[in-house]
Copies of this chain bind each other. A is one copy, B any other.
Amino acid sequence: MKKKKSELLTEVELEFMTELWALGEGTVRDVLNNLPDDRNLAYTSGATILRILEQKDFATSRKEGKSHVYRPTLSKDTYQTRSLKDLSMKLFDDTPASLVARLVDDDELTEEALGQIRALVDRRLKHDSG
């Protein structure tokens, strides 16, 4: 029986995937150019990270000219859902409501954000029940 790999991205992988999601697709150079200015990575480091993302099936690449163009195989939405599920499981007894409870208890949360959240929940409840 094999231990199920957690299927979550590491810190740097997430950083690169975030760029790919924003760009839609891109070469090593594209991704590096879109990182924050204070992020100074060698070209080869970026290439390694994208190659690893492809190995782990988070991205695919096609050859275009002399470059590889990388594209996510996983939507950001899907990955967000996966991450939330993981956090909920590990830290909130697998109970999403308690996760939201902690979130709305945060004093730094603005009234506006709270209102948005309620609107979202209401809309979803209406959709479900008619």
Contact = CB atoms under 8 A, between A and B. Distances in A.
Interface of A: 6, 11, 14, 18, 76-77, 79-81, 83-85, 87, 90-92, 95-97, 99-106, 109, 111, 113-118, 120-122, 124-125, 128-129
Contacts of A85: 106
Contacts of A97: 113, 116-117, 120
- In the complex this chain forms, how many copies of it are found? 2
Contact of A121 (B6, B83, B87, B121): B121
A80 B96 contact: no
A128 B113 contact: no
B84 A96 contact: no
B104 A121 contact: yes
Residue from A96, A103, A113, A128 whose CB has the most chain B CB atoms within 10 Å:
A103
Contacts of A103: 84, 96, 99-100
A18 B87 CA distance: 13
